Amino acid sequence: MEKDLLEALGPHLVWRIGRAEEEEVLVVRVGLASATPRFRELPRLLNIPDPEVARLAKEGRVRVEWVEG
């Protein structure tokens, strides 16, 4: 059921992935499209190359944040 729910919500979600500025953590921010303005108010995420994304994920250094609108 969770997979079905995620697939149903997919077209309505926005996301941002990057490294936290002062942490060695991959941050995945997800929210409904209505929350898009709120993303700009949150601390900046640094763009990182795919190999660094893979490394942080492999090390378990990932934080998922739900962004409320």
Q: Which residues contact 55 (CB under 8 A, 6 or more apart)?
A: none
The pLDDT, as a whole number, for residue 51 is 97
pTM check: above 0.85: no
Percent share of the chain, pLDDT over 70? 99
The pLDDT, as a whole number, for residue 7 is 82
The pLDDT, as a whole number, for residue 1 is 56
The pLDDT, as a whole number, for residue 25 is 97
Residues in the chain predicted with pLDDT less than 70, given as ranges, are 1
